[in-house]
Amino acid sequence: MDTDTYQDLVVRHKNLVHGYAYRMLGNREDARDVAQEVLIRLWENREKVIPDSSKAWLLRTTYRLCVDRTRRKKVRSEVFGDTVLEPVADVTPGPEKLSTAGELGRAIEAALGRLRKEDRTVVLLREVHQTSYEEIARILSQPLGTVKARLHRARIRLRRELVEAGVTP
């Protein structure tokens, strides 16, 4: 892809990448780092990435970098005794975004943060980023049946989290 196409893709997808990373990691600084890294990798791989499938490439790369980062933090916490980040306790988006999110949105964000990483990622990909089952299977390198079953279970868990928090979706 040429420079103009790259710039267009970055402008179009930067918030998607950042939002996915933030909701996966629950930390602004990490999300920002991962988003930047993903967008830079898109530049480095611009000869290989097909613009029409760039959204899937970006989500796949974001997912992998989030997993790497979580794993590194986990190892670090085991060595240095830091707090383990998983599951993320609170991915509330901050006051500037909350005003538009509403109470249900806020409750959903908090409940998402309490899901296990594996559950959270399928819900985010399917429901927030409107990714197809097939694409999710490719992103997560899992069979289609596994993705469907995981998504169904994750939604049920999310609903349970909301009910337990006193919020009926």
Partner 1 sequence: MNMNCEKAQATIQERIDGHLMDGRELAAMERHLESCAACRRFQVDMVELHDGLAALPELELPDEALEEVWDRTVRRSSGTVPGRWRWMAAAAAVLTVAMAGSWFGLLDREPEYSPDEIARATVEARAALGMAGQALQRSQTVAMEEVLGGQVTPALEKITIGLP
Q: Is 10 in the site for partner 1 (CB under 8 A)?
A: yes
Residues 32-71 that bind partner 1 (CB under 8 A): 32, 35-36, 39-40, 43
Closer to partner 1 by Cβ: residue 66 or 123 = 123
CB atoms within 10 A of CB 44: 9
**127: helix, coil or strand?**
helix
Contact 161, 111 (CB under 8 A): yes
Nearest Cα residue to 63 out of 5, 118, 145: 118
- Choose among 127, 133, 136, 132: nearest CA to 155: 127
CB of 159 to partner 1, least distance (A): 5
Binding interface with partner 1 (CB under 8 A):
3, 6-7, 10, 14-19, 22-23, 31-32, 35-36, 39-40, 43, 93, 97, 100-101, 104-105, 108-109, 123, 126-128, 130, 133, 151-152, 155-156, 158-159, 162, 168-169
